[in-house]
Amino acid sequence: MRALVTFVYLFLYTPIALVVLFSFNAGRNASEFTGFSTQWYGRALSNTFLMEALRNSLIIAFTSAALAAIFGTMAAIGMERLGARTRAIFDGLFAAAIVVPGVVIGIATLVALVEVFGVINPLIAAVWPGDQPPKFALGYGSIIAAHGLFTMALVTMIVKARIAGLGRDIVEASSDLYATPLTTFRQIVLPQIMPSILAGFLLAFTFSFDDFIIAFFVAGSNTTLPIYVFASIRRGVTPEINAIATMVLIASLILIFIARFLMREKTTTN
């Protein structure tokens, strides 16, 4: 069993280790290590197209993660007030949103947005006084909406698990002391679930920042970092691509470790 587990981990992580190793390659051949150098990190960071794609990814990831954290928390709180059967239905729906393949979500989101734009744009054109009415199209908004809806399910499940662990006794005690529902939420519930909200935000940010499949369908003319990397490797893998992948890997791991620390720290405290 230990040999099998070791083989599985080697199979999963050896390619990642090779990507990191060859990001420090001195030569241009991504499959032949000719010496140690950090030049490709400098070239990647000085690439204007790459920096533009990185800026797009950061804006999209932060915005979608913030929306997911807000609405996911609201959904988690609302689900706790539902009956057992209704809550089980919503639990299944949120779980399905997490496990459904990204290509299905991407295609479904694209079709839905195209249909909505096809209805809204003619209505705007009919009432717009000028000759060039604004049009809804694929771009920042569509990517943020798609990522926000997808990652909201993740935040909801994380926050809901934390709320379930609180119990109703502290809320009832607050009510017995004549605290309003808003005061109870602001001073008692919110501080207790804040680490889970932050953890959900960081995980949502990581999922959005790293996503390629959904963004590929709804990005329109915008380019995110994963889309830029995919377009670049079609011309051949270079150490610059390995450097980009290494930096994204390190940033993602840092966010995941912070999220895990926040969740475990709160569990240990309680």
Task: Write out the H or E segment, with its range, that includes residue 5.
Answer: helix 2-22
Average pLDDT over residues 123-132: 81
Question: Under a CB-based contact definition with an 8 Å cutoff, are residues 136 and 119 in contact?
Answer: no
pLDDT in tens, 70-117: 999 888 888 877 777 888 888 888 887 788 888 888 888 888 888 888
**pLDDT value for 141:** 86
The answer as to whether 152 is a domain residue is yes
Q: Who has greater pLDDT, 32 or 201?
A: 201
Cβ partners under 8 Å of residue 114, min gap 6: none
Beta bridge partners of 36: 25
- Main-chain dihedrals φ then ψ at residue 123, nearest 5 degrees: -65, -40
The answer as to whether 209 is a domain residue is yes
Q: Which domain holds residue 124?
A: 49-269
Report the alpha-carbon distance of residue 163 to residue 195 in Å, rounded.
11
Report the largest interatomic distance among the alpha carbons of the chain, rounded to a whole angstrom.
Answer: 72
Report the alpha-carbon distance of residue 47 to residue 54 in Å, rounded.
10
Q: How confident is the model at residue 150 (pLDDT cuts 50, 70, 90)?
A: confident
Least confident of 130-134, 152-156, 225-229: 130-134
The answer as to whether 95 is a domain residue is yes
**pLDDT value for 65:** 92
pLDDT of 196 above 70:
yes
Average pLDDT over residues 259-268: 62
The answer as to whether 1 is a domain residue is no
**How far is the CA of 141 from the CAs of 30, 214, 215, in angstroms?**
36, 13, 11
**pLDDT value for 264:** 65
CATH number for the domain harbouring residue 55: 1.10.3720.10
The answer as to whether 19 is a domain residue is no
pLDDT in tens, 29-65: 766 777 788 888 888 888 888 888 888 988 999 999 9
pLDDT of 172 above 70:
no
pLDDT of 171 above 80:
no
The answer as to whether 188 is a domain residue is yes
Burial 182-205 (b: 16+ CB within 10 A, else e): eebeeebbeebbebbbbbbbbbbb
Question: Under a CB-based contact definition with an 8 Å cutoff, are residues 177 and 131 in contact?
Answer: no
**pLDDT value for 255:** 76
**How far is the CA of 215 from the CAs of 111, 157, 181, 220, 242, in angstroms?**
14, 23, 39, 9, 21
| pTM score | 0.79
The answer as to whether 128 is a domain residue is yes
Beta-carbon neighbour count of residue 80 at 10 Å?
Answer: 15
Beta-carbon neighbour count of residue 152 at 10 Å?
Answer: 26
Average pLDDT over residues 229-246: 79
Q: How many domains does the chain have?
A: 1
pLDDT of 67 above 90:
yes
**pLDDT value for 159:** 87
Q: Percent of the chain beyond pLDDT 90?
A: 5
Report the alpha-carbon distance of residue 223 to residue 212 in Å, rounded.
10
Q: Who has greater pLDDT, 155 or 171?
A: 155
pLDDT of 269 above 60:
no
